[in-house]
Amino acid sequence: MSTVIKGGTVVTADLTYKADVRIEGGSIVEIGQDLTGDTVLDATGCYVMPGGIDPHTHLEMPFMGTYSTDDFESGTRAALSGGTTMVVDFCLPSPGQSLLEAISMWDNKIGKASCDFSYHMAITWWGEQVFNEMEEVVKRGIPTFKHFMAYKGALMVDDDEMYASFQRCAELGALPLVHAENGDVVASLTQKLLDAGNNGPEAHAYSRPPEVEGEATNRAIMIADMAGVPLYVVHTSCEQAHEAIRRARSKGMRVYGEPLIQHLVLDESEYANPDWDHAARRVMSPPFRDKTHQDSLWAGLASGSLQVVATDHCAFTTDQKRFGVGNFAKIPNGTGGLEDRMPVLWTKGVNTGRLTMNEFVAVTSTNIAKILNCYPKKGAILPGADADIVVWDPKRKKTISASSQQSAIDYNVFEGIEVEGLPRFVLTRGKVSVEESTMKHEPGHGKFVPREPNMVVNRALSQWKEITAPRKVERTGIPATGV
């Protein structure tokens, strides 16, 4: 049985051209003119693009005394409805817990996934067991390790632990990721604000100013450089962090930055809303910033100093957010965005001229697949690639509303935004899972995508490290020791 996507314009990270795409057995088998097949999907007036990849989600994650509400069922359904065909979630061992046990816990959650997924592993503590298990984690197809520099007393690791883990990543060909905020300073500012009676959700933003993020980003970059390993900075939200990434890249360091769709379009004025629920629903780390930071992030995407756009989808209901009434530090941190990332980025990016269509494909899919090392199985419209495809109708419109969303929570931080540009069809490994606003997804269809370590980048870095390593100077004349 074959399917042909007919009459559309193929848009990839580097090319735009008219062609039909034929799919068989879940893969793209042919791209060309006047193709025929058993099923025809009409793509007239549409762009045929690689399905989106969200490199940063937290589905059914235990966090701050509760679990994020969207699980692999509602989360992957939400992803597909907005054109995202793969998510990368974080396995989160509790401090002291085996990494392999955390993988088993995550494997128990994925039964109803409707699109493909992969995992990152979080390093939440350090010891010989973690050091040893990291090798097995890589062998199981998880070559990316996340480090929290914030959440002191819970998930945070210190510099010595981070340096040890980064060196281990270098040996294994793995890529370290960081949540870059100075957790010690955040803890101190939080206490100071609470002591002063500043306990509302707006104080969450005061407790995590851009300097906290800029400092930690720079520190992580320097530590990665000393360990001889590339670095991926998650949820880059401000100019200070972007500036550190830009500077490192201009010195030849392999550092990647990931803005979120939330930080690109929503700003700190949300926390000034007199409605407690409105502000608390937008509490996430890092917090929303002022508009000058947004301009910096957009510029980074256009110029290539920032490479990918994610959501950090970690959705809590209003009731869960209310755990923090009277103490902002108890509001579960996180917001949603899985189904809105692609339409909102298209509307605010491509429709405004801030991004080209090809850049849109790069930052929502292809760059992610390359950095996380699953390209061209994912992130490509090429023969042999998985048929994870979005047929994008640039004329379809809707107003974002919680009342019609797939996500299981009771609000949407993008409520009321009118988007122009939405999927006509979304295919996951050839299966049509979305047709305009009709969901045709199949819970259980989603499969784990194992990824190889990226030995190419790590080998280049370790080769350079070896060439420039400290060496003892062999001297011809050594004076006798003085008496």
What residue ranges bind ligand URP (CB under 6 A)?
58, 179, 284-285, 312, 314, 333-334
Nearest CA among 314, 340, 315 for reference residue 52: 340
What is the nearest approach in angstroms of ligand URP to the Cβ of residue 71?
Answer: 15
Q: How far apart are CA 447 and CA 121, in angstroms?
A: 17
Q: What is the DSSP letter of 235?
A: S
Could you write out the DSSP letters of every residue in 90-159?
EE-PPTT--HHHHHHHHHTTGGG-SSEEEEEEEE-S-SHHHHHHHHHHHHTT--EEEEES-STTTTB--H
Partner in contact with 22, chosen from Zn ion, ligand URP, none, beta carbon below 5 to 8 Å by kind: none
What is the nearest approach in angstroms of ligand URP to the Cβ of residue 285?
Answer: 4
Query: What number of residues does the chain have?
Result: 483
Q: Residue 232 or 425: which CB sits closer to ligand URP?
A: 232
H/E/C letters for each residue in 421-458? EEEEEEEECCEEEEECCEECCCCCCCCECCCCCCHHHH
Q: How far apart are CA 333 and CA 272, in angstroms?
A: 17
Q: Residue 120 or 254: which CB sits closer to ligand URP?
A: 120
Partner in contact with 334, chosen from Zn ion, ligand URP, none, beta carbon below 5 to 8 Å by kind: ligand URP
Partner in contact with 160, chosen from ligand URP, Zn ion, none, beta carbon below 5 to 8 Å by kind: Zn ion
Q: Residue 85 or 285: which CB sits closer to Zn ion?
A: 285
SS3 for 259? coil
Q: Does 179 bind Zn ion (CB under 5 A)?
A: yes
Say if CB 132 and CB 155 are below 8 A apart: no
Q: Residue 160 or 211: which CB sits closer to Zn ion?
A: 160
What is the nearest approach in angstroms of ligand URP to the Cβ of residue 283?
Answer: 7
What is the nearest approach in angstroms of Zn ion to the Cβ of residue 99?
Answer: 18
**Residues of this chain, 259-318, that bind Zn ion according to CB under 5 A:** 312
Binding mask 309-348 for Zn ion (x = CB under 5 A): ---x------------------------------------
What is the nearest approach in angstroms of ligand URP to the Cβ of residue 121?
Answer: 14
Q: Which two tokens stand for residue 319?
A: 């009731």
Q: Residue 126 or 148: which CB sits closer to ligand URP?
A: 148
What is the nearest approach in angstroms of ligand URP to the Cβ of residue 33?
Answer: 45
354, amino acid identity: R
Give the CA radius of gyration of the chain. 23
231, amino acid identity: L
Partner in contact with 284, chosen from Zn ion, ligand URP, none, beta carbon below 5 to 8 Å by kind: ligand URP
What is the nearest approach in angstroms of ligand URP to the Cβ of residue 333?
Answer: 3
Q: Does 62 bind Zn ion (CB under 5 A)?
A: no
Q: How far apart are CA 13 and CA 408, in angstroms?
A: 32
Q: Residue 73 or 312: which CB sits closer to Zn ion?
A: 312
Partner in contact with 388, chosen from Zn ion, ligand URP, none, beta carbon below 5 to 8 Å by kind: none
426, amino acid identity: V
How far does the chain reach from its first CA to its final CA, in angstroms? 91
171, amino acid identity: E
What is the nearest approach in angstroms of Zn ion to the Cβ of residue 117?
Answer: 15
Q: Does 158 bind Zn ion (CB under 5 A)?
A: yes
134, amino acid identity: M
Q: How far apart are CA 137 and CA 454, in angstroms?
A: 14
Return residues touching Zn ion (CB under 5 A): 158, 160, 179, 312
